[in-house]
Amino acid sequence: MSQYGFLILHYMDYDMTAECVQCLLKTFGNTTDILIIDNGSTNQSGHKLKQQFQNVPGVHLLHTGSNLGFAKGNNLGRDYFLRRDTEYLIVMNNDVYIQQADFLERIEEIHHQTAFDVLGPDIFSPRINEHQSPTKTDLPDLKTIDGQIEQYRKANKHFLSYYIRSKIQTLGKEKKPHTLWKTKREHVVLHGACYIFSRHFLENREYLFHPDTFLYMEEEILALECDRQGLKICYDPSLKVVHMEDVSTTYVYKTEYRRTKLKVRHKYHSLQVYKKIRES
């Protein structure tokens, strides 16, 4: 058993997950435990991954049987690594690549300095040329959430008009430069493509992510719950990963129209989950 564990949630896209695991093996050899969770893939990609890695030391695969969503799928990995006495659990999308040879040593060093419970790296997306984490420094208040719930309620009810309007609104619109990523920070909302959880976190939580969401708002809910439970979230830009972004969603939902419809439906639900937790 290794001090470090990697948890990769897989859905449908065999090539991307296989490349992700190969990158980890190339960077760290067989010094870590890697768990692939096949989250209900229906195209035999989970079986192909099992065949490819079944004889590779340290690589393991679990099947969920159905698509449990982001939170519940990853939560299975928490239970697995808790039993294996893992000190640091790196939870990452299958479209994330780590190329820092001293990535693991940096994690341990940062933990000695900060005693983090949750740590986020600098996440760079070459597709949009953007550093994605942290996403924000403050959590949305109830007034903001109520407004977003109403917005997505209407979007669900009249999706086509919402989709056309949103496309028009983004035409010629430039994103403001994102600068939060440049400095170390604490008590922020981290981007969900890559998290590092400490042993203390695993032992003091029943799950990684609140199980009532399927997609979206996991980052905000995690930050809210950590704040209430006195668990420390840190961000350190000396840790770096590359994020190819939304590969599994794009693989399954080929058109932007279908991807947006998926987002609207699940975000509407997740916003209500966040509100319920915030009010409790």
Tell me the pLDDT of the chain (280 aa) as tens digits: 689 999 999 999 999 999 999 999 999 998 999 999 999 999 999 999 999 999 999 999 999 999 999 999 999 999 999 999 899 999 999 999 999 999 999 999 999 999 999 999 999 999 889 999 999 999 999 999 999 999 999 998 999 888 888 888 777 666 677 799 999 999 999 999 999 999 999 999 999 999 999 999 999 999 999 999 999 999 999 999 999 976 555 556 568 889 899 999 999 999 999 999 999 9
Q: Enumerate the domain spans of the chain.
A: 4-137+178-252
Alpha-carbon distance 235 to 216, whole Å? 20
Please check whether residue 219 is in contact with residue 135, taking contact to mean a CB–CB distance below 8 angstroms. Answer: yes
Angle between helices 14-28 and 45-53 (to 10 degrees): 20
- Given the candidates 3.90.550.10, 1.20.210.10, 3.40.50.170, 3.40.50.1360, the CATH classification of the domain at 4-137+178-252 is 3.90.550.10
Alpha-carbon distance 117 to 203, whole Å? 10
pTM (2 d.p.)? 0.93
Alpha-carbon distance 64 to 10, whole Å? 10
Alpha-carbon distance 245 to 191, whole Å? 11
What is the pLDDT at residue 269? 97
**Which neighbouring-strand residues pair with 242?**
97, 124
Question: What is the identity of the amino acid at 141?
Answer: D
Q: Which has the closest alpha carbon to 15: 95, 82, 86?
A: 95
Alpha-carbon distance 190 to 258, whole Å? 26
In the three-class reduction of DSSP (H, G, I as helix; E, B as strand; rest coil), residue 143 is classed as: helix
Give the contacts of 278 (CB within 8 A, at least 6 positions apart). 142, 145, 224
